[in-house]
Amino acid sequence: MSKFSDIKKDFPIFERDINGKKLTYLDSGATSQKPNSVIDKMNDIYKFNNANVHRGTYVLSSETTHEYESVRYKLQSFLNASESDEIIFTKGTTEALNFLANSIANKFMGEGDEIILSEIEHHANIIPWQMVAEKYKLTINYVKVNDDFSLDLDDLSSKLSSKTKVVSIVGESNLSGMLPDIKEINNLVRSNSDALLIIDGAQLVPHRKVDVQDLGIDFLVFSGHKMLGPTGIGVVWGKKELLNSLDPVYGGGDMIEEVHYDKATWAPVPHKFEAGTPPYVEAIGLGAAVDYLENLGMSEVEKHSDELREYGRKVLLDIDGVNVIHAEQDIAGCTFGMYVDGVHAADLSLMLDTHGVAVRAGHHCVQPFHRKLGIDATIRSTAYIYNDKEDIDTLKSALISSVEMLR
């Protein structure tokens, strides 16, 4: 029996009915559902161990600090990082990219330097770079996306130069499921520039096995809430030597070594980047999520995603009147953007909800790429470990019924 065949029982939300129908949750691109093990772990900390971490000499603080810091070791193993100190906790991917953009631009960039992004980036990987570009008089270039939603690597190669200081690319598209060839991108960046390579792993890390050393990248960012963990927690992984060279963006709390009235010195990595009281309960919840995923095995999670994606392609591409935005690669994420000519995405999403089907409507924080396609909004279906072929079939049936009603 497959590890995924009876997995919904671990997620209490699937005990709910929505509009009198069994919940079919296909919005994991926005946030994942949480298993009992994550919910129970966080509740136990609040009920039995809760105390602020670090510098507390009493039992509760020592216990919570141990739980909190142990998550770095779990993530070190999960990502195959060289050291646990390479794991920096943030509030999420968005804060992680803002931190990197500000710290890198301040330390390594000057007027006329260039940043390379792609046309299909999430706003969180565009706006922070726009903000520092304006502040430091930098230039942003965008790698083209081909008609099959793959990245144009020839275009990337042509844009790389000695002026390129940062390449920041999505690891898995939250609109089309596109999976760029990160190792090939890394080879191009190293061969044609001295740029730092950052991967936005918000969609990638929950769904696929990631080995940061094998990929050869410099930084990886991701969010806990998209990989079974709670909201309010994210991660920056970075090479230790690079983290040591960067300055903190936020000040206060345990990020200091010594403070004087006229100056201060910083704590070692990772704590110099974690100002104030950290989201320690959320980090511990993320640790429980990592345990759950590791118990399944990320290679099995990846296989499950690939199988659902292939089934979804066969089922969804066959629906009359529904246009599907999906990567045409052999391997891609199980995400499908969809739209119906003459029907607004919000109306379509509301109709699907009457069938108990939860999908997201809008531009999914990829507004410039929607504009490039000439589309105002789409609905988006993203499957995860708790989804199965029956959920895809339900989506198809609900789409057919909804389109008939709305046209």
- 160 vs 148: CA distance, rounded Å: 23
* Residue numbers of the domain that contains 182: 40-294
Q: Alpha helices of 143-260 — where are they, by DSSP H?
A: 153-159, 182-192, 204-207, 212-215, 240-245
- Final residue of a domain: which of 241, 268, 294? 294
Q: What CATH number should be reported for the domain holding residue 347?
A: 3.90.1150.10
Instruction: Classify residue 387: in a domain, yes or no.
Output: yes
Same domain, 65 and 200: yes
Report yes or no on 35 lying in a domain.
Answer: no
Residue 262 lies in a domain: yes
Q: Both 154 and 237 in a single domain?
A: yes
One domain for residues 247 and 306: no
Query: Does residue 369 lie in a domain region?
Result: yes
Q: How far is CA 309 from CA 133, 134, 204, 306, in A?
A: 37, 40, 14, 5
Distance set, CA 146 to CA 37, 117, 120, 377, 400 (Å): 42, 15, 10, 20, 29
CA 131 vs CA 101, 243, 273, 334: distances in Å: 9, 21, 20, 32
What residues are labeled active site? 365
Q: Are residues 63 and 166 in the same domain?
A: yes
Boundary-marking domain end, from 238, 266, 294 = 294
pLDDT of residue 68: 98
With a CB cutoff of 8 Å and minimum separation 6, the contacts of 112 are: 137, 138, 139, 163
Say if 125 falls within a structural domain. Answer: yes
206 plus 308 within the same structural domain: no
Q: Is 132 among the domain residues?
A: yes
15 Cβ partners below 8 Å, 6+ apart? none
Same domain flag for 45 and 23: no
Residue 311 and residue 323 share a domain: yes
pLDDT of residue 1: 55
Among residues 263, 294, 325, the one where a domain terminates is 294
- Total domain count for the chain? 2
Residue 161 shares a structural domain with residue 249: yes
Q: Is residue 2 part of a domain?
A: no
Helix (H, G, I), strand (E, B) or coil at 357: strand
List, for residues 105-147, the tens digit of each pLDDT value: 999 999 999 999 999 999 999 999 999 999 999 999 999 999 9
Q: Domain holding 108: CATH number?
A: 3.40.640.10
In a shared domain, residues 45 and 21: no
Q: Tell me whether the omega of the peptide bond preceding residue 270 falls within 30 degrees of 0, making it cis.
A: yes
Whether pTM > 0.95 for this model: the answer is yes
| Co-location of 129 and 265 in the same domain | yes
What is the pLDDT, as a whole number, of residue 234?
98
Mean pLDDT by 10 residues, the chain (407 residues): 88 97 98 98 97 92 97 98 98 98 97 98 98 98 97 98 98 98 98 98 98 98 98 98 97 94 96 96 98 98 97 94 94 96 96 98 97 97 98 98 93
Q: How many CB atoms within 10 Å of residue 185?
A: 24
pLDDT of residue 2: 79
Phi, psi of 158, deg, nearest 5: -70, -25
pLDDT of residue 5: 87
The verdict on residue 95 lying in a domain is yes
Q: Give yes or no: residues 48 and 155 share one domain.
A: yes
